[in-house]
């Protein structure tokens, strides 16, 4: 992702995942997820929109932290909710 594609690029850090095991909320409730996403502002780990609970998107709506990245092994893409920009 670069500054011309997303105005929120300055908010992207290198946060440590708050949990390496899976979606924070699903782990608490015993639910399953499909794929994981990492908030690049605070390190929240949430489940993707294909998962029943869509915790990554819910985290964005609650916090307005705009940029996530895939937290799947071998994937390195980013998504900015606010600008609706995908980048690898």
Boundaries of every domain in the chain: 9-87
Q: Which CATH number fits domain 9-87: 3.40.50.2020, 3.30.40.10, 3.50.50.60, 3.30.1330.90?
A: 3.30.40.10
For residue 31, pLDDT over 80 is answered with yes
Give the C-alpha separation, 81 to 64, whole Å: 9
Q: Which of 10-14, 37-41, 49-53 has the lowest mean pLDDT?
A: 10-14
Q: What pTM value is reported for the model?
A: 0.92
Mean pLDDT of 33-50: 97
Hey, how many other C-beta atoms are within 10 angstroms of the C-beta on 14? 6
Query: Across all residues in the chain, what is the average pLDDT?
Result: 92
Secondary structure of residue 47 in the 3-state scheme: strand
């Amino acid at each position: 992702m670069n500054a011309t594609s997303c105005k929120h690029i300055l908010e992207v850090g290198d946060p440590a995942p708050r949990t390496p095991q899976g979606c924070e909320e699903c782990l608490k409730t015993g639910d399953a997820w499909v794929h994981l996403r990492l908030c690049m502002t605070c390190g929240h780990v949430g489940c993707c929109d294909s998962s029943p609970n869509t915790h990554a998107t819910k985290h964005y709506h609650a916090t307005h932290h705009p940029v996530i990245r895939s937290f799947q092994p071998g994937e390195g893409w980013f998504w900015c909710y606010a600008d609706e920009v995908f980048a690898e």
